[in-house]
Amino acid sequence: MRNYEADEVKVLNAEEWQLECLKKNPDYCSWGNYEDYMTNKDSQWGSAVELESVGELWSLDELNELVNFYFEVTRESNPCKHCDQSGHNPETKLLKDSWYSFDKSEWISIGRNKRYNNLAWQYHLTEVEIKELVKHGRLNDLMSIHCSYDEETGKWHGWVNGTKQEIEEPEYPSPESVNAWAIKGAGHDSINQWIAVEARARHLGVYGKCEHCNGQGYIYTEPKAKLSLQMWFIHPRKGSSRGVYLKNIEQNELETVIEYLKEARQRNYDRFSKL
């Protein structure tokens, strides 16, 4: 967990000092070792590194400049075999799987180099799913105005002349237009799938979490959580960068780690101080 999520905290069994570290994180934490472009596993400087303990932290100098970080609270686990890591009950998981459909018997060609699976219900959305997608701002390509719905306030907001304003409930695109767009255009992504699956499952009255993992998709194998630190170093001379992951921080080591990060902050500031 990189950002404080109340539902996950309930089952993570983390200590308060660990959770407090999450509040120190930058807003954007969607990167790390073996994610996105940090997948290099060779022996060169740009490959990801894992450190076992605080005592292995690198010295900061002009060859190793720490430019970004985030704390992470984790707990060892195994994938939940009952739900295939989906976190859903069987009925919801069936909807998730049939979104794409594993049955390839109804492929339809729509051009020289494109075809689609007519059994996949992502190409047969109804008003139920479309309304939820619009609420989340996911069908703006088909809307006369880019908009989204705030569940907390119950109000719609849209961008008018470059300014976000409160608006009336918009007119939803028709199922025919949405499904044609999905077939011929860029189509839906995994976020749209998640929204549409939940909307259809709730409409059918079958939505629910896996009873074995409580919707987590995994089952914990450790009694308690641990605090880790993901860092991003650059090497100006090599024109390279790498992710460095400190796997475990004990509570009595936290002050040392905080001072280390403060030193990196000062070094980053000093490089630009003459401007």
Assess if residue 61 is contained within a domain.
yes
pLDDT bin (cut points 50, 70, 90) of residue 25 is: very high
Which pLDDT belongs to residue 263? 98
Assess if residue 24 is contained within a domain.
yes
Percent of the chain exceeding pLDDT 90 equals: 78
pLDDT bin (cut points 50, 70, 90) of residue 42 is: low
Assess if residue 156 is contained within a domain.
yes
Domain boundary among 174, 204, 234: 204
Domain range spanning residue 103? 90-204
Which pLDDT belongs to residue 37? 72
Assess if residue 215 is contained within a domain.
no
Percent of the chain exceeding pLDDT 70 equals: 98
> Could you read off the pLDDT of 83-111 as tens digits, one per residue?
999 999 999 999 999 999 888 788 898 87
pLDDT bin (cut points 50, 70, 90) of residue 45 is: confident
pLDDT bin (cut points 50, 70, 90) of residue 43 is: low
Assess if residue 71 is contained within a domain.
yes
Average pLDDT of the residues in 206-232: 94
Average pLDDT of the residues in 252-258: 98
Phi, psi of 112 (to 5 degrees): -65, -40
Assess if residue 216 is contained within a domain.
no
* Residues 43 and 125 reside in one and the same domain: no
Assess if residue 236 is contained within a domain.
yes
SS (H, E, C) the chain: CCCCCHHHHHHHCCCHHHHHHHCCCCCCCCCCCCCCCCCCCCCCCCCCEEECCHHHCCCCECCEEEEEEEEEEECCEEECCCCCCCCECHHHHHHHHHCCCCCCCCEEECCCCCEEECCCHHHCCCHHHHHHHHHCCCCHHHCCCCEEEECCCCEEEEEECCEEEEECCCCCCCHHHHHHHHHHCCCCCHHHHHHHHHHHHHHHCCCCECCCCCCCCEEECCCCCEEEEEEEEEECCCCEEEEEEEEEECHHHHHHHHHHHHHHHHHHHHHCCCC
* Residues 136 and 164 reside in one and the same domain: yes
How many C-beta neighbours within 10 Å does residue 270 have?
9
Counted domains in the chain: 2
* Residues 169 and 267 reside in one and the same domain: no
pLDDT bin (cut points 50, 70, 90) of residue 35 is: confident
* Residues 55 and 137 reside in one and the same domain: no
Average pLDDT of the residues in 63-78: 95
Domain boundary among 172, 204, 236: 204
Which pLDDT belongs to residue 12? 85
The bridge status of strand 107-109 relative to strand 115-117 is antiparallel
Residues 88, 98: Cα–Cα separation, whole Å: 14
Average pLDDT of the residues in 195-204: 98
Domain boundary among 151, 172, 204: 204
Mean pLDDT in the chain? 92
pLDDT bin (cut points 50, 70, 90) of residue 233 is: very high
Assess if residue 81 is contained within a domain.
no
* Residues 94 and 164 reside in one and the same domain: yes
* Residues 200 and 104 reside in one and the same domain: yes
Residues 211, 108: Cα–Cα separation, whole Å: 38
> Could you read off the pLDDT of 135-163 as tens digits, one per residue?
999 999 999 999 999 999 999 999 988 89
Let me know if 140 is exposed, middle or buried by CB neighbors in 10 A (0-12, 13-18, 19+).
middle
* Residues 38 and 142 reside in one and the same domain: no
